[in-house]
Amino acid sequence: MLFNSYAFIFLFLPVTLLGFQLIGNRGHCRVAVSWLIGASLFFYGWWNPAYLGLILTSILFNYAVGVSLGSRPAKTVLVVGIAANLGLLGYFKYANFFVDNINALTGSDIVLERIILPLAISFFTFQQITYLVDTYRGETQECDFLRYCLFVTFFPQLIAGPIVHHREMMPQFAKDTFCRLKAKHLAVGLTIFSVGLFKKVILADGIAVYSTPVFDAAEAGVILTFVDAWCGALAFTFQLYFDFSGYSDMAIGLGRMFGIILPVNFFSPYKASNIIEFWRRWHITLSRFARDYLYIPLGGNRKGTLLRFANLMITMLLIGLWHGAGWTFVIWGGLHGSYLVINHGWHAIKKKIFLNTPTSATIWGHALGCMLTFIGVVMAWVIFRAESIDGATKMFEGMFGINGFLLPPNYLGYLNHLYGLGDFLAGRGWGFSEELEFFEGLVEAGSLLLLAFITFFAPNTLQWMQRYKPALGLEGFGIKRFNSRWVEWRPVTAWAIATITLAVLSLLSFTKVSEFLYFQF
């Protein structure tokens, strides 16, 4: 079941909320929690009921291991627990990839039926690994089975995150007021959900019609010109941005309707002025997991510069592989690992040059950093999106101008109004022709410019909602209050009308329901 579907919005969500409220108001909190667990399992099973057994087995196994670690921490038990979780994930996610590569390298003909990846297995596996590690470290002593089930299955964050920590959720589940819905929580949650729905249905799905044909053409071997290739790459860049941003908002909004504050998972990453900052803003809980349970255990930055860079590269390669069983994902992870190594190396050089003297970037320096980071991210997204290395190569050939430079013929006149820019480009090899396959003119350009303006200059949802603590972990982003209180969201008529408008526009656009891009991971 998708958040952006009529079945979810008009049936599942109101029934789940109503049942939770009626049971909770009668003082039966554990029954209300059981109701919410049952609803979450129904939500998960809607996709494929056969995999309900998988998630239930995973819950029972990890809870038992956690109880054992809580009573007597034993490293062997922890290793067995983590290995079992990773083994399950590896089988479903990487067995076909491993066999295909063995066959390609050795010429063998090992036959393995295609294994369907269970929805959300990456997320609930990582979430339970954090529980086991934290229990072993003595950071949690939770033994309530119902609350543990809800920790794993809570439907707002079950399918695609955020990857939550046990210590973030259990105190909220244990509150006496948890089972009683509040009007403020519903208002805040519905607003955030509506904004996220608009991002997904209107913005992300709207620009997808420009990105998908270009990448499909590249896979088919079609020769792409400079403008076509860049149009497709930028369209996917914004599609993924608003798709994941929309999902993150919707998850936070749904959690808030039940009085649960989820951790921030997405915070305007394209505004980052370097790649280090980008990864502090993009899929924040995955970055946190990789840092705390992979990078630091490998040694982090404690064993010298070379090992630090090696640890960064290993971490990013595994993050790439986590996103998908394919070499394009591995290369994407390696590319971001290289970006991070270069970025950290540059910071080390600056530190030596300025001898720890505080330096502050100018506005132009910050803008240049944002532009370079964005271009690097776009290049990496091409590899991420491509279905094969050949498809990515075709895209890069077009983006680097190897196949020529073409613009729609009507652009010649438009550009000549700008101090004769059209004739200037024509004299330097640019063509103005109707041979363009995908980029037809002002509609695509206007759509990309509008999304770029929203991305780089508009406040994000969490900044608008800052007065009501919309997510955990916002303190580290230094959110500043707006000069005018009218800009911040408040429970008043004007904002209610705006929220309803966004929701109605989104609902009227449900002509084709599409999955969130991160559902495939």
Q: Known catalytic residues?
A: 323
Neighbour-count burial for 88-108, b at 16+ CB within 10 Å, e otherwise: bbeebbbebbeeeeeeeeeee
* Token digits of residue 405: 């430079």
Cα 476 to Cα 460: distance, rounded to the nearest angstrom: 15
Contact indicator for 52, 121 with CB cutoff of 8 Å: no
Assign 406 to helix, strand or coil.
Answer: strand
Contact indicator for 291, 263 with CB cutoff of 8 Å: no
- List residues bridging with 263 in a β-sheet: 472
Contact indicator for 227, 180 with CB cutoff of 8 Å: no
* Token digits of residue 207: 């620009």
Assign 277 to helix, strand or coil.
Answer: helix
Instruction: Report the 10 Å Cβ neighbour count for 311.
Output: 21
Contact indicator for 432, 414 with CB cutoff of 8 Å: no
List the Cα angle 269/273/277 in 5-degree steps: 55
Contact indicator for 324, 386 with CB cutoff of 8 Å: no
Cα 463 to Cα 264: distance, rounded to the nearest angstrom: 12
